Structure 1
């Protein structure tokens, strides 16, 4: 069986510190995998290894059975893998709508000349892109902000714009680095509903998150990292009851 994403024995050292230590896991087509752990457990470094921002010292990353270890990050959206970041990486002076549209660049075939001359293909692509963007803005409750500069939005709304931009690329798998950071309880609940709908629509998710309620609602399996290594891996409720996980991470959250 070929998994959509397979991470096999990835390790990354920084000087004498092993940030990620022989981590392996798989993500099936349309499934949702959460990665949790205390601060400094290696979660974001793991995403960096998967998405080519950092090269592993050992191990491989496969996407649909193809080795993508070390592939440049800008090439991965063409293969159906998109990622968000802990801090929203938006273009501040562009509107929310324009920021979301940037995520769909892999779908546009028109080039500078046809765009400048407003040739039919360029016009068709722009109409389709605007329609898709409008759907995503509505889906994430961002329509009221569509024509405002991204810099004018509160931090929580900027996080949702980052998620919308990730979805605009039509990914098969979306990796999210703490998408609920900066969101209040209402915004987090809305995000959980949106990600559950994304998951139900067949897009696979890899979710790094500290909000356990969000993790429990969205994920099929949970991988727990501690000091760079795998502490536990299993269904959410099973992991939540694991004594080692409780001691290392969950504590009073359970």
Structure 2
């Protein structure tokens, strides 16, 4: 029985229209299919998790959605716009932001300045105006600083505002990555393992932040290895194994799916044995 046979389709939703629609996304590297005809729908104000064992194709999926890797097949639309036709640096301007597996803070910049970088696409002053400190540029920089401080307050990190990125604890750096993306006013936030390196308390704090973010109107696609965290905050969970979807649906249904247990724990899939 093929992996695709195990897919548990999400029932048709009667809520808001999707803001992200991924259809048939496929990427091959030589003889390896890293992402195999993946469909993914994300609706407003929801947390949509993507989980799977190491090498399942999760990060490659985000790279394809955000243009860092080109697909061999498939389509990606965000708010009705063809995302694949846009360069990655243009995505923040349409409301799509992402983070990466490792924190990418600028070490010598303060926490506030790092967060300000996430909102730079909202400004109109060019480099020349910034360099000459023209009035418009100064106003925009003040506005960016205020926006950054609001994000730091939301994350309860204001005490680190002046601390260089290189001096921040790991947990703070991970939260700050999320904060930098939030500063850009995204409609959809793609997070790649934001809980990596966090202890239990920090993970719970991050989970609370992400749920608050989604309730405030920003949809989230979350890649995460901490299954308990995923199950506690996600509205729907898509499971990848060897690049293919093996399950997709509400957390409780996905947790009980034999195909998911097989992917994570190597347990036999009884449905596959019966049908083989």
2:198 aligned to 183, 186, 190, which one?
Answer: 183
Q: Report whether the alignment pairs 1:170 with 2:185.
A: yes
d(CA) in 2 for partners of 1:180 and 1:40? Answer: 18
Q: 2:148 matched to 1:96? A: no
Q: 1:189 to 1:251 in 2, by over 3 A?
A: farther
Q: Which residue of 2 aligns with 1:151?
A: 166
CA deviation after TM superposition for structure 1 residue 122, in Å: 2.4
Q: Mark the CA change 1:251 to 1:158 in structure 2 (over 3 Å): closer, same or farther.
A: farther
Instruction: Give the deviation of 1:146 after TM superposition.
Output: 1.3
Q: CA deviation at 1:155?
A: 2.1
CA RMSD of aligned residues (A): 1.7
Larger radius of gyration: 2
| 1:164-208 deviation per Cα after TM superposition (whole angstroms, max 9, x unaligned) | 111111000000000000111111111011101000001000000
State the TM-score, normalizing by the size of structure 1: 0.94
Moved more, 40-49 or 129-138: 129-138
Which segments of 5 or more consecutive residues in structure 1 lack a partner in the other structure?
none
1:111 is the counterpart of 2:126: yes
Is the partner of 1:231 in helix, strand or coil?
strand
Provide the residue aligned with 1:228 in structure 2: 243
CA deviation digits over 1:81-115, x for unaligned, max 9?
00000001111111111111000011111223443
Q: Within 5 Å, which residues of 2 pair with 1:117-136?
A: 117-136=132-151
Extract structure 1 runs of 4+ deviating beyond 4 A.
Answer: none
TM-score by length of 2: 0.87
Q: Is the 8 A contact 1:84 1:162 kept in 2?
A: yes
1:21 aligns with 2:42: no
2:256 matched residue in structure 1: 241
Is 1:87 matched up with 2:111?
A: no
1:30 equivalent to 2:56? Answer no
The answer on whether the counterparts of 1:55 and 1:70 sit within 8 Å (CA) in structure 2 is no
CA distance in 1, matches of 2:64, 2:107: 27
Q: Tell me by how many angstroms 1:139 deviates.
A: 1.6
What is the number of equivalent residue pairs in this alignment?
252
The 3-state SS of whatever aligns with 1:76 is helix
